[in-house]
Amino acid sequence: MKYCFAICDDDANYARYIRRLAEQWGRQSAAEVETEAFPSAEAFLFRWDEEKDFDVLLLDIEMSGMDGVELARRIRAEDDRVQIVFITGYNDYIAQGYEVAALHYLVKPVDPDKLFQVLTRAVGRLDRNEPVLTLELPGEMVRVPLSKIRYVDVLHNYVTVHAGQDYDLKRPLRELERELDQRFYRIGRSCIVNLAFVSRVTRTAVELSGGQSLPLPRGQYEGLNRAIIDRM
């Protein structure tokens, strides 16, 4: 399974060091790891608002501007799945780590072996807690975490699961819908949208984080808005 790691630290050299270690852990663990580094909490939030696709956040606490604790609070208000690991030069924030359900608290300088142990725990927790959609494709079987699925739609006789990568399969939408959970809402006959990715709703369209727009059939506006409110 693919994992997306974010490193947020205003010390560029240390961010590069942690990023290298995270990628090294991926190679040693035979895991597909994608990493992205951010120089500030604000830069991370700008990216997070577009697409909430990170699995693990390696987060410094003492940063200029918004600090790591406040960033973690904002993330937890929307997402309880992402694994937060605080990496800092101070021992004064352990209580705040509990407050935002941080997985671990590492003090700089970070020992590579300790970081590797924490990352193994993080993905283990993700794998245990994350429901997946199993797709039978030609010559392979793919397990897609539900949190990665932006929407599912139908064209002719094929269903496409849009989850960063598109997966096409010949399967009734109503059958696939039974394997999704309460975060998904069906808009019309041919589309199911993940409410976590909805950024705006008009009478004629559903806008997703990242700028994509889906047509909204007539009569669906009130029901979709009610589903979004009920999920808050």
Whichever domain contains 105, its CATH number is: 3.40.50.2300
Q: How far apart are CA 131 and CA 145, in angstroms?
A: 6
Are 58 and 154 found together in one domain? no
Q: Is the pLDDT of residue 188 over 60?
A: yes
pLDDT at 203: 92
Are 38 and 125 found together in one domain? yes
> Which residue, of 129, 147, 171, is where some domain finishes?
129
> Which residue, of 95, 129, 163, is where some domain finishes?
129
Whether the CA torsion 33, 103, 46, 91 is positive or negative: it is: negative
Are 166 and 205 found together in one domain? yes
Q: Kindly report which listed range (16-25, 94-103, 122-131, 139-148) carries the lowest average pLDDT score.
A: 94-103
Looking up tokens 């949208």, which residue turns up? Answer: 193
Are 162 and 62 found together in one domain? no
Q: How far apart are CA 141 and CA 85, in angstroms?
A: 31
Q: Which pTM value belongs to this model? A: 0.64
Taking a C-beta distance cutoff of 8 angstroms, is the pair 6, 36 a contact? Answer: yes
Mean pLDDT (the chain) is 88
Are 42 and 146 found together in one domain? no
Are 148 and 121 found together in one domain? no
Are 88 and 196 found together in one domain? no
Q: Which domain holds residue 138?
A: 132-231
Are 12 and 36 found together in one domain? yes
Are 9 and 96 found together in one domain? yes
Taking a C-beta distance cutoff of 8 angstroms, is the pair 143, 167 a contact? Answer: no
Nearest to 164 by CA among 127, 209, 195, 202: 209
pLDDT at 139: 77
- Decide which of 80 and 40 is more confident: 40
Are 37 and 124 found together in one domain? yes
215 upstream amide cis, omega within 30 of 0: no
Are 82 and 116 found together in one domain? yes
For residue range 196-211, list pLDDT tens digits in order: 888 889 999 999 887 7
For residue range 149-164, list pLDDT tens digits in order: 999 999 888 899 998 7
pLDDT band at 193 (very low <50, low <70, confident <90, very high): very high
Are 178 and 118 found together in one domain? no
Q: Is the pLDDT of residue 11 over 90?
A: yes
Nearest to 130 by CA among 26, 1, 28: 1
> Which residue, of 64, 96, 129, is where some domain finishes?
129
Total domains in the fold of the chain = 2
